């Protein structure tokens, strides 16, 4: 009987395509680190790029963005930590007169948070983040140096505010997240140093630079809203978000900024991974 009940619960959860949070699941088989909130969003990005390795002028344009997030409790004592992985990809083009600059960037971050319950429905989280980003800016009109590669990694401070509030008969969730890189390294050739010199002739001295807020003042902040919905008897959560990703650097006599303002729309869902041991009722990582 118990085995049959467990199978029935598993099938019911697999049949639920999207939910933003756990809603009073009555079972003794859920443990916190096996409840994962996943979201996938598609968005439109406003681009503003400057890289004096390629050009002394701003290029402005549009791009498309895809992001995917996993958010869950970490397996630590009393589950007092939260864990987030976040993937972002941007493809776009920017123009200046008849000149076109193509943009291709991907980033991945891993974050750990400690939560602080402030009031009913309001939680603050503070922690650290490891960032990695790679990609390129490409100006086909340029002659010898048409592309500028972007490769960096950094340790960042990160914080989040999560607020639950009732709307009619449902509960909406607003989140604000800010990430500020503090120290890292990046690929940074000198002005006029071509990639042929670096990779063909081996003139690679000084192409890796240490970054800090003095020469790399950057930050990213995101505001999102989760709206629970009912579609054909299934609980579905619509997520709307705005992200401002502000990257700036002045290294080896090269000025660079890449400003991305992204408006995105997608869905969030909760994945349940069930085991027999470790009782935990009515739990959500949010």
Smallest CA-to-CA distance from 40 within 88, 91, 107, 110 is with: 88
Structural domain boundaries of the chain? 2-272
**pLDDT tens readout for residues 195-247:** 777 777 766 777 899 999 999 999 999 999 999 887 655 567 899 999 999 99
**pLDDT tens readout for residues 99-116:** 899 999 999 999 999 999
pTM of the model: 0.82
Query: What is the chain's pLDDT, residue by residue, as a tens digit (286 residues)?
Result: 444 434 444 444 444 343 334 333 333 344 555 688 999 999 999 999 999 999 899 999 999 999 999 999 876 666 678 999 999 999 999 999 888 999 999 999 999 999 999 999 999 999 999 999 999 999 998 877 789 999 999 999 999 999 999 998 889 999 999 999 999 999 988 887 777 777 777 667 778 999 999 999 999 999 999 998 876 555 678 999 999 999 999 999 899 999 999 999 999 988 876 554 444 444 567 7
Per-residue CA distances from 157 to 72, 180, 190 (Å): 19, 5, 29
| CA separation for the pair 243, 177 (Å, rounded) | 9
Check the CA dihedral 206-207-210-211 and report its sign.
positive
Pick the CATH number of 2-272 from 3.40.50.970, 1.10.150.650, 3.40.50.720, 2.40.128.100: 2.40.128.100
Cross-strand pairs, 59: 49
What residue ranges in 22-169 does DSSP mark as E strands? Answer: 35-51, 59-73, 82-96, 99-119, 122-138, 147-167
Smallest CA-to-CA distance from 71 within 279, 274, 269 is with: 269
């Amino acid at each position: 009987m118990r085995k049959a009940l467990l199978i029935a619960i598993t099938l019911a959860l697999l049949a639920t395509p999207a939910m933003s949070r756990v809603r009073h699941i009555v079972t003794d088989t859920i443990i916190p680190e096996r409840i994962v909130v996943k979201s996938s969003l598609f968005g439109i990005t406003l681009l503003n790029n400057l890289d004096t390795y390629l050009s002394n002028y701003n290029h402005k344009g549009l791009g498309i963005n895809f992001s995917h997030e996993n958010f869950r409790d970490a397996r630590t004592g009393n589950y007092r930590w939260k864990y987030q992985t976040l993937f972002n990809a941007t493809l776009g083009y920017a123009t200046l007169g008849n000149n076109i600059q193509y943009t291709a960037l991907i980033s991945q971050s891993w974050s750990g948070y400690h939560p602080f319950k402030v009031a009913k429905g309001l939680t603050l989280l503070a922690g650290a983040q490891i960032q990695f980003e790679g990609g390129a800016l490409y100006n086909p009109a340029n002659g010898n140096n048409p592309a500028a590669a972007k490769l960096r990694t950094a340790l960042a401070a990160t914080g989040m505010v999560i607020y639950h509030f009732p709307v009619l008969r449902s509960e909406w969730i607003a989140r604000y997240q800010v990430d500020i890189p503090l120290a890292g390294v990046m690929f940074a050739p000198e002005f006029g140093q071509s990639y042929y010199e670096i990779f063909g002739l081996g003139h690679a001295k000084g192409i890796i630079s240490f970054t800090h807020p003095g020469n790399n003042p950057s930050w990213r902040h995101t505001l999102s809203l989760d709206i629970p919905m009912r579609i054909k008897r299934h609980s579905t959560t619509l997520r709307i978000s705005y992200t401002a990703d502000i990257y700036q650097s002045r290294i080896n006599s090269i000025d660079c900024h890449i400003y991305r303002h992204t408006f995105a729309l997608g869905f969030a869902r909760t994945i349940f991974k069930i085991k027999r041991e470790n009782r935990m009722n009515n739990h959500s990582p949010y």
